Amino acid sequence: MSKYQYDLFVIGAGSGGVRAARMSAGLGAHVAIAEDRHLGGTCVNVGCVPKKLFVYASHFTEEFENAKSFGWDIARTDFDWSTLIKNKNTEIKRLNGIYKKILDNSGAETIHGRAKIVDKHTVEINDDHITAERILIATGGWPSVPDIPGKEHIISSNEAFFLKSLPEKIVIVGGGYIAVEFAGIFHGLGVETTLLYRGPLFLRGFDQDVREALADEMQKKGINIKFDSNISEIEKSNDQFIATLEDGEQIEADQIMYATGRKPMTENLGLETVGIELDSDSAIKVNDEYQTNIHSIYAIGDVTNRVNLTPVALAEGMVLAKRFFGNEDKDVDYSNIPTCVFSQPNIGTVGLTEEQAREKYDDIDIYKSYFKPMKLSLSESNEQTFMKLIVDKKSDLVVGVHMLGPDAGEIIQGIGIAIKAGATKKVFDSTIGIHPTAAEEFVTMRDPVSD
């Protein structure tokens, strides 16, 4: 009989924590999981899920407009923000319930409350001390807002999901996934939208061609993008906010939203009590087996600030559970992870950017294609889809695939399997396309562009 109350105690019921808890319980372990907010973590409550619902909602403006070119006469297209919020909340509540049911069915015990680590085998929660052979931290991240004058007037993406009314004007600050996605969301819902980014071009780390193409498309849609810009202070004037930029320009808006990054949620966990090491960004340091410097305490997901994607946290949770209780010693393969930005239009990408490929390989071929999506061919829209293949000449391996256009994420998921399997350009060329689709373009690009 174990001298501990649990084999595994998980702090944080987000994607990674829930996966680790239920898989471990399913493998026969005695597991408890603690959460002080809502089950499902960021992704379900204030991240991927509600954001995608908002993206769907914002697309209807263009859908209604494009419908005219197909003969539809749409006389009235009113939008009610409160209905969207209400229905979104209902769906999130349903998902919270599903997560609870999944945990219950697995045999894991769910405890509501803030857990703090007391020693290497003990946590304190709701005034109780609970012991466990292993403790897993999966608390995720939280929006980070800079300390500037007027900081109290800023909202983050968390608050954007619960606004009581839709603003007429909004300023969004940031250059990552969340910033460009919310710029598209608010613009699509009829809000006058300005996107500010302190650098020369957003989405740092993505392929340069894709970044430039998205900037062009967003500006064509009417989003005001100001690169090399930053806010120095924010003042409130009646019901409006005035953002003063570092160059002295002032912008007035009903809301100012910051999407300037997220920080690992490592505060108020008792980490200092046991001496768990953090890096310069306050992320928990772990080894290749997700173990901290305290042998019985582990961490996965965004709290480690490595690859901050929901599917990665899920994979880490599964690998860890099987390593602990399933007698399997596999690792997560972090190479060629497909990802999507639900910007408008979408970005889908897998593998190396052109810049990365040029550093890694002596000689590469680049294939590019720009075209108007067939769905828009009857309309006056000038939106362009962009596709790009990057091939190592020596091996003929396709080492990078990038797309900007409708359904990019859906298309790149399948391409990701091919890249993971080691598909060559010859394999792409020998694959028969599905016609007429945008996706077939990936198997019909024959001539590389010149350097």
Query: Model confidence over 241-275: pLDDT tens digits?
Result: 999 999 999 999 999 999 999 999 999 999 999 99
* Residue 30 annotated as catalytic: no
Give the tens place of pLDDT for each residue, 436-449: 999 999 999 999 99
Mean pLDDT to the nearest integer, 50-58? 98
Q: Is the pLDDT of residue 337 over 80?
A: yes
Q: Given this model, what pLDDT does residue 1 score?
A: 56
Domain boundaries 339-443, CATH class: alpha beta
Query: How far is Cα 319 from Cα 297, in angstroms, rounded to an integer?
Result: 16
Q: What is the CA radius of gyration of the chain?
A: 24
Does 123 have pLDDT greater than 80?
Answer: yes
pLDDT at 2 over 80: no
Which of 153, 187, 402, 435 does the annotation list as catalytic? 435
Residue 172 token pair: 């969004």
What pLDDT does residue 450 have?
A: 82
Q: One fold for both 6-141+263-325 and 151-260?
A: yes
Cβ(180)–Cβ(172) below 8 Å: no
Compute the distance between CA of residue 308 and CA of residue 318 in angstroms, rounded to an integer: 16
245 sits in which H/E element: strand 240-245
Scanning 257-353, the segments in alpha helix (DSSP H) are 271-274, 310-325
**pLDDT tens digits along 138-176:** 999 999 999 999 999 999 999 999 999 999 999 999 999
What is the rounded average pLDDT of the residues 24-35?
98
Q: Among residues 259, 193, 258, 177, which one has the least CA distance to residue 226? A: 193
How far is residue 333's CA from residue 321's CA, in Å, rounded to a whole number? 16
- Structural domain boundaries in the chain: 6-141+263-325, 151-260, 339-443
Reported as type and span, the H/E element at residue 188 is: helix 177-188
DSSP character at residue 441 = G
For the record, the structure tokens of 336 come out as 């060629």
Average pLDDT over residues 404-420: 97
At the topology level, CATH places domain 6-141+263-325 in: FAD/NAD(P)-binding domain (3.50.50)
Whether the predicted pLDDT of 392 surpasses 90: yes
Which pLDDT belongs to residue 370? Answer: 97
Specify the CATH architecture of the domain 151-260. 3-Layer(bba) Sandwich (3.50)
